Structure 1
Amino acid sequence: MKKISTIIALLSVLVTASAQQVKLGDKNTITIHSSKENINRTIYLQLPKNYGIENKRYPLIILFDAQDKSLYNLTSSIIDRMTWTNDIPEAIFLGVVQNNRSQELNFEKSEQTTKIFLDFIKNDLLDYVNKNYKANGYVTLIGHSLGGQFVTNAMVSYPEIFPSVISISGALNYPNKDNTINSKVISKVERYLSATSVSSLKKQKYYFSSGDNGFQESGFKSGALKVDSLYKLHKHNVVNWQFDFLKGYNHMTTPLHGIPAGLAFVFKDWYISDSLAMDVLIYHKTSPSVVLKDKKINIAKSYGVNISLPRNALFQFAEYSLSQGKIDDAEALTKNLLNEYPDDEEVYGLMAEIFVKKGDISNAIKYYERAQSKSVTNKHAEKIKDLKKDQLKSLK
């Protein structure tokens, strides 16, 4: 019997997660003026599906080369999937359309125009997003090929503004002549690792990858391996980097692995693993309050901002606390959920159950009525009716 109840509890976790699927909304096109270039730039914008309904702020993910529709659509789909599975937090997703990618992204050949484009990103683009959307200030850049070179340069130029970077098949060793490593960006990385303080380096998150198949990767992999060797040289100072050498992948297939792996790496300190959730919900090795306290401390240290934890995990932890008779813990967790999800029918229903356990029938009715007002069915009506009967008997 105990084994059956354990399986049912685990299934409850999985069903709740799938029932609460979240994803990005439709793609919108916005235009932002570049002050130094005196031109308007096209940006694709996708917000979390429940943006405006939820009371929280979101990290920002920026992809370069968004005019490449296959790359943009791939990244959008990966963010959708990883948000749904709670591997990464909900985020605001921007795709930057390049007008002239060689002039804008190639620091090695076009240093001055690349600097101007980087100024647009760190000033005009971020200012616009921060003023008009609920961004929390944490930025992740994603670039492929020349975009990988650009985001690496952005990281070492302004590490406090761009704390996490994903470089896929980055043109770090470009132009490549006779497979020699002669790169301004790699030299900047070396100086950055040597001169930056240990505390700052530990907050930086850098994921980069390279394949080994095809003409382009044969050149780019040497640059990536060189950068990996620099990070290994400074590994006593730097812990937040990951290099994936993707054997059998070519220049156009590396994003298939690199983008999800990079996002998982960046948000690994936010992620609540299945094993950790099971330690709470199934094996009872630790309590929700301990797990959440530790997780919030780690998030603050790792990201420097508050990033909301997965709704499903918090809901399950609140349900679990209630089932264990820890009513105060359950109430505190549910209040936090109501603050972030003020239109969530299930959360109002859970708060009503908490008041039932406390013997507070008036508040239980009030929260069931709020749940009913958010519901498309009458599933709370019978509970309200029964509670009102109990309330009337009590008064008599």
Structure 2
Amino acid sequence: MKNLLLFTFIIFSLIGCKQKKDTINIKKQKNEIIIGQIDSLYSNILNEYRELWIHIPESAKDSFSCKTKYPVLYLLDGPSHFSSVTGIIENLSHSLTVPEMIIVGITNTNRTLDLTPSYVARAKYQSGGGNKFLDFIEKELIPHIEKTYPASIYKTFTGHSLGGLSVINALINKQKLFNNYIAIDPSLSWDNRAFLNVADSILSTNKFNNRGLYVGVANTIGTEMDLDSIPDTDFTFHIKSILQFVNSLETKKDNGLLFKWKYYNNDTHASVPLISEYDALRFLFAWYTLNAYELTSRNSTLTAQEIMKLINAHYANISDQFGYEVFPPERLINSMGGLFMSNKMPKKAYTLFKLNIKNYPKSTNVYESMGDYYLSQSDTLNAIKEFKNVLKIGENKTIKKKLERLINRFNKK
């Protein structure tokens, strides 16, 4: 089966400044689409190897600084959800709705043992190894990821079904380990709701400041039943356990937890992960998106200085959240500058192009944009200077020809 997956091992020098010594170097073929690589880690806590499915943002190999880091999403049942979650994050990060992220898909050798917080003698499979499994994540997996990959300390933990139960277990017992928790149709009925009752108590008495939780709830009762009047049956025990949890949590307004839940009437237990992941990421990273349309509106009365102040404040907040400095994305600032040029607001455009040069001094694009700005202002001398800066960084035939024409024109004056 593994031979059918769109995976391969790739050399780590392409993804960051740190390299893994035992990485297998398989040449990437031109007709391959690669979304990740397979890593493995021996756990002394679990006494076994664990396979890891790793996605590194494409921009990591193009980063200008070894200091570039990325938030990490730790994904339970990795093989089942890796491709869909990777696609969602790549799509949302391209639109700057969420940050680019490293994705770590965690595999199981004994799923029920790993993901359940208590032992149930009558259970069909081994159980109760959930806390040991979380110890493995905290003490072995996360240090390995942060040592091997360009990973930041900002982390999201997500799981479905028993994986969702494990996520809630982590929120309760290791609340400082992750920043965000995504529990998708979690199996909170486990052990006759014994863990659910413990969780409810802890959520009532503890503080969860700067932590976020999203719970997705699938329709596991059919269309004939009303969500507000579900009878007590074995068939409804699963969803009623989740509803007990989310309804109780909604009353705990002073525990500091950023919380939202949603019922997906048109989705089953099997189909709900995809849409829940999308909605969860939109909710948990709502603070990430800069409202560029508002700042660049033709009707805006903001000055260049006021726009800069708002941009700096927005990315200062992101930096505080992530624990490291985050610069406004080059393509966003460049696009905003281009809009200002189109709207005949050259002073605002100049301010943004200058910001990009400050933040991305090794990018050819920032000097080319500034050169085009000067050309629009009939400042040929400064345009020539900026285009020369492009060529100092690397060969560019288009800019070279453009520069030659400008110099010839300037010399004829």
Residue 307 of structure 1, CA deviation: 4.6
Structure 2 gap ranges (5+):
1-32, 121-126, 223-233
Aligned residue in 2 for 1:203:
210
Summarize deviations over 1:153-193 as a string: whole Å, max 9, x none: 112222222110111001122245xxxxx231452343144
1:369 aligns to 2:391 (yes or no): yes
User: Which letter maps to 2:206?
Assistant: A
Pick from 162, 179, 186 the counterpart of residue 178 of structure 2: 162
Q: Which has the higher helix share?
A: 1
- 3-state SS, counterpart of residue 88 of structure 1: coil
- 3-state SS, counterpart of residue 130 of structure 2: helix
Structure 1 segments, 4+ long, off by >6 Å, are: none
Residue 387 of structure 1, CA deviation: 3.0
Aligned residue in 1 for 2:370:
351
User: Which letter maps to 2:111?
Assistant: R
Contact in 2 for aligned 1:321/1:329 (Cα 8 Å)? no
Aligned residue in 2 for 1:113:
129
Contact in 2 for aligned 1:210/1:220 (Cα 8 Å)? no
For residues 223 and 302 of structure 1, the distance between their equivalents in structure 2, rounded to whole angstroms, comes to 33
Residue 203 of structure 1, CA deviation: 0.9
Aligned residue in 1 for 2:202:
191
TM-aligned CA distance change 1:365 to 1:272, over 3 Å: closer
- 3-state SS, counterpart of residue 203 of structure 1: coil
TM-aligned CA distance change 1:310 to 1:242, over 3 Å: farther
User: Which letter maps to 1:129?
Assistant: I
Residue 389 of structure 1, CA deviation: 2.5
User: Which letter maps to 1:73?
Assistant: S
Summarize deviations over 1:8-62 as a string: whole Å, max 9, x none: xxxxxxxxxxxxxxxx953210011212123211000111112121242111011
Contact in 1 for aligned 2:37/2:53 (Cα 8 Å)? yes
Counterparts of 1:175-186 in structure 2, within 5 Å, are: 175-176=191-192, 182-186=193-197
Residue 120 of structure 1, CA deviation: 1.3
For residues 296 and 366 of structure 1, the distance between their equivalents in structure 2, rounded to whole angstroms, comes to 31
For residues 78 and 125 of structure 1, the distance between their equivalents in structure 2, rounded to whole angstroms, comes to 24
Per chain length, whose mean CA-contact separation is higher, i.e. which structure has more relative contact order (CA < 8 Å, sep 6+)? Answer: 1
Residue 364 of structure 1, CA deviation: 1.7
RMSD, matched Cα: 2.9
Pick from 108, 115, 118 the counterpart of residue 98 of structure 1: 108
Aligned residue in 2 for 1:44:
53
For residues 283 and 108 of structure 2, the distance between their equivalents in structure 1, rounded to whole angstroms, comes to 26
Contact in 2 for aligned 1:152/1:185 (Cα 8 Å)? no
Q: TM-score, normalised by structure 2?
A: 0.76
Summarize deviations over 1:202-249 as a string: whole Å, max 9, x none: 311100011223489833322222222232222144361110011232
Counterparts of 1:266-277 in structure 2, within 5 Å, are: 266-273=284-291, 276-277=292-293
1:61 aligns to 2:73 (yes or no): yes
User: Which letter maps to 1:364?
Assistant: E
For residues 137 and 236 of structure 2, the distance between their equivalents in structure 1, rounded to whole angstroms, comes to 31
Summarize deviations over 1:338-372 as a string: whole Å, max 9, x none: 25xx4x54333113335666753553232242577
For residues 235 and 326 of structure 1, the distance between their equivalents in structure 2, rounded to whole angstroms, comes to 42
Contact in 2 for aligned 1:168/1:255 (Cα 8 Å)? yes
Q: TM-score, normalised by structure 1?
A: 0.79
Residue 250 of structure 1, CA deviation: 1.4
Identity, % of aligned positions: 18
Moved more, 79-88 or 302-311: 302-311
